[in-house]
């Protein structure tokens, strides 16, 4: 009778262990976890994109400021040379040279104005692109936070169930003889969590193979009873 009670307790333990296994698997395989990992990757990619866009915008701004400064200098020099030319008092040779200098400075000023305009347009485009990326990053970060909250909530529920199952397990374990418990723990990892099963109408509840009358007799003589085929512990 004591052995039958121990095997019944072992069946109860296995039922609790299987529930714990299921909960642990559920905890590790929440659909939201895959979504969270994808959201994290998306967020990191966007952070890198924002960083690159900011660097490009800084470079363009530096180029714009440099060109703007050079244009101011060129415009001032052009104005000065024009004033000298139009003031008169120059020899024909000097005046001709001055006109060429003014024309050259004028062309240079136009080229710099074109460059400045291109840089301005480039900066506007980069600012818009950066703003778009920053918006996408904010959305991705918010979505990731929402997923994290959902995961934490799901985990709290699972962990509460786990705590109850572990408490029940702690009640059952002391009822089982140490040698029987050790055999159970040895079999569980190699038997897909099912170390013990009932023998119903000569069919093993673990491997579902039928035992012959002779095999059934051998099983009843072993301590604890074990299936001839799969070596699982049997409850007769």
pLDDT in tens, 23-76: 999 999 999 999 999 999 999 999 999 999 999 999 999 999 998 888 888 888
Same domain, 94 and 192: no
Q: Which letter does DSSP use for residue 169 in this model?
A: H
User: At 118, which CATH number?
Assistant: 1.10.287.1700
Contact 235, 226 (CB under 8 A): no
For residue 213, give its domain range.
181-235
Domain count, the chain: 2
Same domain, 35 and 148: yes
Contact 68, 116 (CB under 8 A): yes
* Lowest-confidence region among 3-12, 41-50, 93-102, 127-136: 93-102
pLDDT band at 122 (very low <50, low <70, confident <90, very high): very high
The strand order across the sheet containing 203-204 reads 203-204, 196-200, 233-235
What pTM did the predictor assign? 0.73
Same domain, 216 and 120: no
pLDDT in tens, 170-204: 999 999 999 999 999 999 999 999 999 999 999 99
Last residue in a domain, options 161, 192, 216: 161
Same domain, 47 and 105: yes
Same domain, 139 and 231: no
* Residue 85 forms part of a structural domain: yes
* Residue 4 forms part of a structural domain: no
* Residue 171 forms part of a structural domain: no
- Predicted pLDDT of residue 203: 96
Dihedral pair phi/psi, residue 210, rounded to 5°: -85, 135
- Mean pLDDT in residue range 215-236: 92
* Residue 157 forms part of a structural domain: yes
pLDDT band at 1 (very low <50, low <70, confident <90, very high): very low
Q: How far apart are the first and last CA of the chain?
A: 12
pLDDT at 2 over 70: no
* Residue 110 forms part of a structural domain: yes
Same domain, 39 and 119: yes
Last residue in a domain, options 114, 132, 161: 161
- Predicted pLDDT of residue 4: 63
Same domain, 54 and 139: yes
Sorted by sequence, the CB contacts under 8 Å of residue 218 that are 6+ apart come out as 228
- Mean pLDDT in residue range 91-106: 73
């Amino acid at each position: 009778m004591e052995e039958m009670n121990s095997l019944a307790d072992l069946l109860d333990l296995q039922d609790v262990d299987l529930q714990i296994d299921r909960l642990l698997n559920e905890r590790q395989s929440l659909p939201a976890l895959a979504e969270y990992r994808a959201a994290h990757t998306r967020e990191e990619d966007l952070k890198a994109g924002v960083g690159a866009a900011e660097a490009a915008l800084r470079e363009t701004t530096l180029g714009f400021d440099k060109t703007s400064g050079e244009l101011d200098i060129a415009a001032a020099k052009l104005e000065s040379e024009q004033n000298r030319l139009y003031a008169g008092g120059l020899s024909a040779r000097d005046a001709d040279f001055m006109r060429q200098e003014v024309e050259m400075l004028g062309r240079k000023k136009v080229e710099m104005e074109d460059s400045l305009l291109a840089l301005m347009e480039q900066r506007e485009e980069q600012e818009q692109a950066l703003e778009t990326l920053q918006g996408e990053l904010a959305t991705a970060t918010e979505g990731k936070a929402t997923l994290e909250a959902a995961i934490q909530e799901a985990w709290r529920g699972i962990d509460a169930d786990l705590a109850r199952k572990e408490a029940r397990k702690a009640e059952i374990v002391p009822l089982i003889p140490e040698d029987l418990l050790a055999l159970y723990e040895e079999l569980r990892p190699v038997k897909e969590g099912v170390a013990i099963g009932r023998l119903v109408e000569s069919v093993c509840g673990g491997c579902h193979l039928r035992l012959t009358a002779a095999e059934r007799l051998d099983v009843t003589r072993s301590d604890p009873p074990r299936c001839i085929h799969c070596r699982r512990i049997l409850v007769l």
